[in-house]
Amino acid sequence: MRSESFSRAKVMMPPPYLTDSLFASIPWLVHGFGTRVWGPEDFGKEGGWPGARLVELEQTHSDALHFIDKPPARRLQGDALATDGSGLLLAIRTADCLPVLLADLEHKAVAAVHAGWRGTSLGISARVVRALGERYGSRPPRLVAVLGPCIGPACYEVGEDVRGEFLRRGQGDAAFRRSAAPDAAGGGKYVLDLKAANRSQLLGAGLRPDAVADIPLCTHCDGRLLSYRRDRDTSARLYNFIGIREIGDG
């Protein structure tokens, strides 16, 4: 583990996707956080990972994780993927939800996590850290993570039902703040900080604070990104990805 702090990511932006300086410094790692001009057809045009296969999920807002060593015959249902094999690009699609990418520096394994409010309430980020340990022997202090762009807390208003799910599942409500606007029934509304909630899960699972980086962009505010709440587009998604570079790749 490098000694310098990565708690605040330095963002490089070679369009059409975002990269993080921490992950970019790892020679065997391929990663990116998509913008609105980067789609699945673009992976075949990128010259940095010849022959890599894109692996996507049928995302279900769950805490289900799949370990893979080759492309599955069909899309698996779930919200997290992990591998220690090269030549695979694990993809998570988002349009306000939080993409979390993780890498094990010691065992050369990676994971991609789709963390919406439902998955976050289920503790998906912490679950993935535990599962990496069980499968690959990953030690949390040797894991690094990057939290990608998602809807920011100033823009993410939710109801008491969402807060109630967090409380019911033992996640607490530290990531919630009361909103000034009442709901239609005159009850309370809240704003939810998805990044704070998932960062808390990662730290609680044993990651070091300086090993959790953040790309500080809000999908709702930044026009380069896609936002369901802003655009109301049920189909358009950002493609966020991570993989292990084949030996000999450029």
Reported as a pLDDT band with limits 50, 70 and 90, residue 233 is: confident
Which residues are registered as beta bridge partners of 82?
Answer: 67, 111
- At 139, the amino acid letter reads R
Collapse the DSSP code of 90 into the 3-class scheme (helix H, G, I; strand E, B; otherwise coil) and give the result: strand
Read off the tokens for 242: 């991570």
Read off the tokens for 176: 């919630």
Quick check: is 109 in a domain?
yes
Closest CA to 206 of 119, 120, 145: 145
How far is the C-alpha of 200 from the C-alpha of 180, rounded, in Å?
A: 25
Collapse the DSSP code of 200 into the 3-class scheme (helix H, G, I; strand E, B; otherwise coil) and give the result: helix
Quote the percentage of the chain above a pLDDT of 90: 80
Domain boundaries, position 21: 11-152+195-244
| Strand boundaries in 86-127, DSSP class E | 88-94, 98-104, 109-115
What's the pTM value of the predicted model, to 2 decimals? 0.91
What number of other Cβ atoms are within 10 A of residue 114's Cβ? 24
Q: Say whether both 211 and 97 belong to one domain.
A: yes
139-163 average pLDDT score: 97
Q: Say whether both 177 and 199 belong to one domain.
A: no
Collapse the DSSP code of 116 into the 3-class scheme (helix H, G, I; strand E, B; otherwise coil) and give the result: coil
Quick check: is 199 in a domain?
yes
Total count of domains within the chain: 2
Q: Say whether both 143 and 201 belong to one domain.
A: yes
Q: What is the pLDDT of residues 53-91, one digit of tens each?
A: 999 999 999 999 999 999 999 999 999 999 999 999 999
Which run of H or E residues covers position 167?
helix 160-168
Q: Say whether both 163 and 234 belong to one domain.
A: no
Upstream peptide bond of 16 is cis (omega within 30 degrees of 0) = yes
Q: What is the pLDDT of residues 178-188, one digit of tens each?
A: 987 665 555 67
Quote the percentage of the chain above a pLDDT of 70: 89
